A and B are shown apart, each in its own frame.
Chain A
Amino acid sequence: MLWLRLAWREIQKHRKFAIFFVLNLSLGITGFVALDAYRGAMEDLLAAQSREILGADLVLRALRPLAESERSSVARVVGANVQEAQRIDLYSMVASATASRLVELRAIDRHFPLYGEIVLEEAGVANASRRAALNQEAKVWIDTELRSQLHVDVGDFVQIGEARFQVQDMVQKDSGRSGMGVALAPRIYLGLAQLEKTKLIRKGSRIAYQSYFQISPSALEIEAVAKKLRKEIADPGVKIQTHRSSSRELVRALTAVSDFLGLVSLAALFLAAIGAAYSFRAYLMSRLREIAILMSLGVSVANARRIYVWQLFLLGLAAGGVALALSALLLPLTPSFLSGLLTSELQAGLASQLRVGVRSAAVALGIASGSGLLLALPVLLRLRSFSPAALFRENAQPALGLSLKSVTAFLPALIFFGVLAVVQARSFVLGMKFLALLVAACLGLTLLFGVFEYGTRFFAKTKSLILRLALREIVRRKAASFAGFVSLALCTLLIGLIPQLRVLIETDLRQPPGVTLPSLFLFDIQEEQVSDLERYLVQFHARPMGLSPLIRARLLAVDGEPLASRTEESELETREEEDRRWTRERSYNLTIREQLRPSERMVAGRPFQGRYVVGQAALPEISVEEGFAKRMGMTLGSVMLFDVQGVEVAGKIVSLRKVRWSSFEPNFFVQFQAGVLEDAPKTYLSAVSAPTSDVKTVLQNGLVAQFPNVSIVDVSRILEKILQIFDKMQRVMQLLAVLTTGVGFLLLILLVHYESLAMRWELNLLKVLGASYAKVYALTLIRFAWIALAATTSGMALSCGIAALLAHSVFELAWSMSWGLTLSVIGAGTSLSLVVAYLASRKVVRERALRVLVAPVSTVAE
């Protein structure tokens, strides 16, 4: 414990510095903790929304009741103390006194839904007691559209199977309505206990049995339970869904936002790490004179190291503690400061969710205590070559040389941050990619520093004394200039990258220009009905969107190889094998499309060459969706052979398309050139946009009456819900981008502050030599302006490069330079550096110059 005592004594001796150091470092760590807390809170809020859609954390769905063995597997995996609800769904014809129609019967127990709510027109929220009452009486709640379709109202009776039920209320809202796919018919809710009376459940009945579970607030835990259940229950007929997998659009959006939040969190981690590294480096530099004294008194290098390792550890730990205390105090207050960026719902949600998590606290303490030691390792290792003679030099610094040893000294830090990055991103791939990106950025910045140094030497040949002195100082103090340049540039890189990524993800989630959101989807429109339907829609100022012919065909062969023979059926098919088999054997919906829709983009090949003429030598042309082509192992030039209703039709792939499936436009994997399939039997499908919700209801009823064979799916509710979530996600990303920028600038202040104070000795020397205050200020500001301008420009250039790369390779979007953002980050970074440098150097400039000659000078103020 001797070294610990010595370290403590050192800290006490330099108490003022210790406080300065702890406060500076804790600011960086506070930024990280705050960002991490926001990320956690936002994830919880978004998860709550998707839970409401599913009505549970996890759902088991099957077209039969679960077997006893399956039930015991479920009980074993999910645990005994979880909340469970049951629901049974079936379609049935229901009759009133004057009409009958198909409805979806939803038989619920008193616990359903576990999340979200059912809101009734008269009674309001259907609470547990109302749901319990529904299970005891022959009463039903019906969808409002059934009022006109069955000509019934509250108090009237409907015949369901062999029983009569009284309409108790109308369902105004069901938060789970946008859940599993789409409903083909309006719904009637009845008590699960009342279902037996209908006598609809018999052998051969098509019934969906569903068990809902409320397991845990942790998405990871839920996914783990789902994974275990999938292993335990072999029958692929039992579908297991978690709230995250309940909607394809939602999964895609949640994954994108989750990755963004992970990146923000990693950016926060590395901003904190840069702050920590810089603080520790500055601290060690300020202690070199003491180390030289110790070594000249006979203390070994190893022992000298121990004293400083302990000091760094203790100071880092203290900074971590202060940061956690600051975060715990300030975090609950932040949502009210950010009210401009948040809806009132989000603000209230955040106020209750924001907290410093255990993982976040552990990572913060890890960075504060551990990262300092590891990042200081290269400097500590160089102590071996540090000569006590440095005691007699005014401004001793270890030389900056790139040897194999000095590079390997960074390896422990790299591994440490690699582990932290994986923990923080909760993804090995994402964490490693981010780390690789930063290492590449550091290498790029080292090269750019070389260019910067060359330029500085070139401009230092000027006749202006102050300019010459300022620029030569940069070259002379190469190690400090390099550290300052790289830190500032990395900081700018992250500040610039996060808003650009936000814009990319937002653009990806947003509807493409020219796409209007539909209210209804119409299927199975017969060819002879198309013109009548179009005329009918015009009466309601509604219009068909993307009306497309649909020709069913079976894929027989690709490039001459029969498809069926590619599949080797085994008795024990996994779900994945089953999926692959299904992809290959299923029938496909082909369409004829001469032009691309706004939601699709050609990524390879060429457009169709006009209309195909039967008998021409070349094969008809096909355009295929990129992902589908990849799954089927097809490329441009591949020949697909289809069986269209007994007629074989071959075609050659001339283009690959990227389709935005989230655009809610009718889209197809395979499109044929015009002139090939026009005579084939086909139906049409279309999306329809209705001007208002009232018009939509009237339109829907009219369509049922006039075109009874046309299937109508009301997609307005599901779209509304998904768009609400997208909006929330966009706000989350905006908020976190602003917060990250704030933390980045805070770090920038810290770096410049250190750098300015590190110039103390030079500034005082200039004063001793007779330089005026104005000249001293000019020298300081020129030096900082030069480094800050070069570093922020380099950082922004790299962030633009990375954003362009991500736009091209990940999001497949066109990237364009945002000059506003680029210039404002460079301008703000440089100006802020100048202001901080001015304020920090003012104190130094005003102190007595003679002090430099009588007292040992530390590079950091005490």
Chain B
Amino acid sequence: MIFHRRKKQNSLLRAVLWLFMSGWCAGVLNLAHAGPEPLRILCLGDSLTEGYGVLPEEAYPALLAVRLREKGYTNLEVVNAGISGSTTASAESRLNWQLRAKVKPKILILALGANDGLRGLPVAQAQRNLEKAIVLAKANGVTVLLAGMQLPPNYGPSYTKEFLAMYHELAQKQNVALIPFLLDGVAGEANLNQADGIHPNAAGHRILAETVLRALEPLL
């Protein structure tokens, strides 16, 4: 067996336990605790999500899983589908790959667009790409949390404003939840970023996890 999920959830013991628990606890536990399948949260993003320059367990998706478990959401899985350097152009095809998985995601944290902005790509095109991914997610019953990005001020007032507005417009149009700025409290802070000044360090990722957690909890 060469293709296997990182967390093997389908063991016999787990199934027996679930049968027992489902009969006893039905209607008591919330959705995260209810099913045999874990609640799959998919973080589809770029290097910020992938955790460029930090250990996998230091990246915000892993920290988010820890924080959710601390809050009692034990039957869940947070998938880090971040790819460094990726743009919104890849969003739809990557989501398709995840939707083909045996355990489909229930929540999508869509954290793409930063590289489009840094490369000066047309905002309208990035918006179209993100919209396609959101539409695809919704069509498959996936709840979307859109993570907004802001560009550094050196990109010029006109472009940065247009870029920021894109996330708000999209969230409103598609009626999805929005994190106004994923790097809120982290961007521009030397002690929370790596030497390149753009990727959060381990401490920065802890703040990111809290930011995401605040926006995610109402969706659970």
Interface of A toward B, CB cutoff 8 Å: 63-64, 90-95, 100-102, 160-162, 184-185, 200-207, 235-237, 523-524, 526-528, 552, 554, 556, 564, 567, 569, 582, 585-587, 614, 619-620, 643, 645-651, 679-681, 683, 708-709, 711
Contact = CB atoms under 8 A, between A and B. Distances in A.
B155 A564 contact: no
A649 B158 contact: no
B23 interface: no
A682 to B, nearest CB: 8
B90 interface: yes
A569 B56 CA distance: 14
Given A63-B196, A162-B157, A204-B188, A646 B79 contact: yes
B121 A709 contact: yes
A711 B121 CA distance: 10
B154 A90 contact: yes
Contacts of B90: 524, 526, 681, 683
B159 interface: yes
B120 A587 contact: no
A569 to B, nearest CB: 8
Interface string B119-162: 11110010001000000000000000000000011111111000
A708 B119 CA distance: 10
A206 B152 contact: yes
A645 B93 contact: no
Given A206-B197, A526-B90, A646-B101, 20 more contacts: A91-B120, A91-B155, A92-B155, A93-B120, A100-B158, A200-B156, A201-B154, A202-B154, A206-B152, A206-B198, A524-B86, A564-B56, A585-B55, A587-B84, A646-B42, A646-B81, A647-B3, A648-B4, A683-B90, A709-B89
Given A237-B197, A646-B81, A646-B98, A200 B154 contact: yes
B2 A204 contact: no
Contacts of B187: 204
A567 B3 contact: no
Point out which of B100, B158, B195 has the most chain A C-beta atoms below 10 A from its C-beta.
B195
A709 B153 contact: no
Interface of B: 2-6, 42, 50, 52-57, 79-81, 83-90, 93-94, 97-98, 100-101, 116, 118-122, 125, 129, 152-159, 187-188, 190, 195-198
A100 B157 CA distance: 13
Given A102-B119, A235-B195, A587 B154 contact: no
B116 A585 contact: no
A694 to B, nearest CB: 25
B159 A645 contact: no
Contacts of A648: 3-6
Given A647-B3, A683-B90, A237 B195 contact: yes
Nearest to B188: A204
Given A204-B187, A587-B52, A645 B154 contact: no
A709 B116 contact: yes
Contact of A645 (B81, B89, B155): B81
A564 B62 CA distance: 14
A651 B3 CA distance: 10
Contacts of A201: 154
A200 B125 CA distance: 25
Contacts of B53: 582, 585-586
Contacts of A94: 156
23 contacts: A90-B154, A92-B155, A200-B153, A201-B154, A202-B153, A203-B188, A205-B154, A235-B195, A524-B85, A564-B56, A569-B55, A585-B53, A585-B54, A585-B55, A587-B84, A643-B56, A645-B97, A646-B6, A679-B100, A681-B90, A709-B116, A709-B125, A709-B129
